[in-house]
Amino acid sequence: MGKFLAGFIIGAVVLAGGVYVYIHYGFLDMRADRASGRWERACMNGALDRYAERYGPQVRNPLEPTDATLIEGIALYKADCAGCHGGPDNPVSELGLGFNPPAPQFLRAAPGIPGNQNYWIIRHGVRMR
C-alpha cells in the first residue's frame, strides 16, 4: 500500500510538472486566429456553465420590466453591446464574429441561461477562453 501510494504521488507530481513545462515553455498553441480544439471548448464551456451556476448570486433583478427601464436598456444595449452582439442595424455583427471565441449573436439566439448567471458573466467578464 505504501509503495502504491508513493508511486501514485510521484506519478501525479511528474504529470503536473510535465503539464507545467509544456505550457510554461511555449509548447501550447496560443494562436487566436485558429479555432479552439474540441477538448479546450468542451472543458472551458463546461467550466463557464458550472462557474456561473455556482457563483451567479441568488438575487432578484432590482429593475422592474417597465416601458421606461426596457427603453433605457435597449439604448444601453445599442450603444455598448450591439457592435459585437448584433442589433437592429446590424443583426449579424462581423466584428463580433471575428473574435475567438466569437461573440454570440443575441438577435439570432438570446442567451439561454438564467438572468442571475447572465448578470454575473456581464458584470465580471470571462477570461481564459
Binding site for ligand HEC (CB under 6 A): 80-81, 83-85, 96, 99, 101, 103-104, 111, 113, 118, 121-122, 126, 129
Q: In whole angstroms, how close is the CB of 123 to ligand HEC at the nearest point?
A: 10
Judged by beta carbon, residue 13 or residue 122, the one nearer ligand HEC is 122
Q: Which three cell numbers stand for residue 72?
A: 433605457
**35-33-122-43 Cα dihedral, nearest 10 degrees:** 30
Residue 96 · residue 102 · CB < 8 Å: yes
- Provide the minimum distance between the beta carbon of 80 and ligand HEC in the complex, in angstroms, as a whole number: 4
* Rounded Cα–Cα distance for residues 86 and 108 (Å): 9
CB of 63 to ligand HEC, least distance (A): 14
**How many CB atoms are closer than 10 A to CB 74?**
13
CB closer to ligand HEC, 13 vs 47: 47
Residue among 17 and 37 whose Cβ is closer to ligand HEC = 37
Pick 107 or 113: Cβ nearer ligand HEC: 113
Nearest approach, Cβ of 16 to ligand HEC (angstroms)? 26
From the list 81, 105, 111, 79, the residue with the least C-alpha distance to 92 is 105
* Amino acid (one-letter) located at 98: G
